[in-house]
Amino acid sequence: MGEPILALKNVSFSAQRESIIRDISFQYMEGKTTALIGPSGGGKSTALKLSAGLLLPTQGEARFRGRNIAAMTRSQNRDFRQEGAVVFQDSALWANQDIYQNLELPLLARFPKMGARERDERIKAAAAQVGYRRSLAIRPANLSMGEQKLIGFARALLCRPTLLFLDEWTESLDDEAAGRLVGIVRQFQAQGGTLIFVSHDLKLIEYLADFVVMIKGGRVSAVLAGSDVAEKKLLDRMNQPLQEKEPE
C-alpha cells in the first residue's frame, strides 16, 4: 500500500482566537489519493494548508517523510517545497503581473539556471495542457474565475511535482474544462503521484479517491477507504450532526 508521505499528528490550529482545527490526526499514503470532505466552514481547506506547510499548527505536528515541517532546515524545507505544488481555491494569482509572469515566477524561483527558451516552452506547454486559449500578456483581472483556475492549475504543473494539493479545483469550470483537468489528474495518478484534494463533488471524490477524510467542526469525523466510498454513504455521513468528544 506504500508508506506515509505526510502525517498530521494531534494538530490544532487557531486564528484570531478562533479554533478552526481541533486535535486531528491522520496520514497520507505515498502514491495514493486522499480527498478531504465535509460541510462548508468545517476546516477542510485549513487542513489542506496545514498538510502543505502553508500554515503551521498551533499545537501538534505536520510531518513530511517523518520530519516536522515546522522544524525543518532551510534545505529540507526547500526539498519539500520542490516536491509539491498547490492549486488554491481562489487561484491566488499575482494581480500586478500578467499571466506569463505569473507562470514564470515558480520556474525562476526553483530553476534559476533554466534558460529563457526552456521557460517559455514550459509555460506555453502548461497553458495548452489545461486548455487556456487566451493571451498570456493580459492580467488576471481580465480573466473569468474559470480561466484563473486553469492558470492556477497550469502553474502547479510547471515544476513537475510529485505531490499535488488541490482546493476546490474544478469549481467555476464548465464540464469540458473540468474533464480536461480530471484527465490530467488521472495521468498524474498513473505516474505514481500523491494527490490530496478538497472538493464538494461527490462523484469526483468517488471516481478519484483512494481514501476519504471527513472533517466537520474542525475535527475528523470519519476516515474511509476508497472501496467504501459510495455517494449515498458520504451524503448520509455529511448530514449527520457532529458528535462532541466526551471530556477525558
* 244 assigned to some structural domain: no
* 117 assigned to some structural domain: yes
What integer pLDDT is reported at residue 56 of this predicted model? 95
pLDDT one-digit tens code per residue, 101-112 = 999 999 998 899
Q: Which residue has the cell 474533464?
A: 179
- The number of folded domains in the chain is 1
Residue 205 phi, psi (nearest 5): -60, -45
* 247 assigned to some structural domain: no
- Higher confidence at residue 98 or residue 3? 98
The CATH number of the domain where 234 resides is what?
A: 3.40.50.300
- Gap between the Cα atoms of 169 and 166, Å rounded: 6
- Higher confidence at residue 230 or residue 5? 5
Note whether 222 and 44 are within 8 A (CB). no
- Higher confidence at residue 239 or residue 196? 196
Residue 200 phi, psi (nearest 5): -95, -5
User: pLDDT-based confidence at 40, cuts 50/70/90?
Assistant: confident
* 245 assigned to some structural domain: no
Residue type, 244: E
235: pLDDT strictly greater than 80: no
* 150 assigned to some structural domain: yes
What integer pLDDT is reported at residue 230 of this predicted model? 58
Q: What does the block give as the cell for 8?
A: 498530521
Q: What average pLDDT does this structure show over 229-243?
A: 56
Q: What average pLDDT does this structure show over 152-173?
A: 92
* 60 assigned to some structural domain: yes
Taking alpha carbons only, the member of 200, 184, 173, 191 closest to residue 45 is 200
Residue 213 to residues 23, 28, 45, 47, 232: CA-CA distances in angstroms?
14, 10, 12, 10, 16
Task: Pick the range with the lowest mean pLDDT from 49-58, 116-125, 166-175.
Answer: 166-175
Note whether 7 and 28 are within 8 A (CB). yes
User: pLDDT-based confidence at 3, cuts 50/70/90?
Assistant: confident
- Gap between the Cα atoms of 102 and 119, Å rounded: 12
Q: What average pLDDT does this structure show over 158-184?
A: 92
Q: What average pLDDT does this structure show over 204-230?
A: 85
What integer pLDDT is reported at residue 225 of this predicted model? 79
Note whether 31 and 194 are within 8 A (CB). yes
84 is in which domain, residue-wise? 4-239
What integer pLDDT is reported at residue 203 of this predicted model? 84
* 204 assigned to some structural domain: yes
- Gap between the Cα atoms of 62 and 125, Å rounded: 34
- Gap between the Cα atoms of 116 and 16, Å rounded: 43
Cα dihedral 241, 229, 37, 180 in deg (nearest 10) = -150
143: pLDDT strictly greater than 90: yes
* 246 assigned to some structural domain: no
Element (H, E) at 181: helix 175-190
pTM of the model: 0.88
- Higher confidence at residue 235 or residue 81? 81
| % of the chain surpassing 70 pLDDT | 90
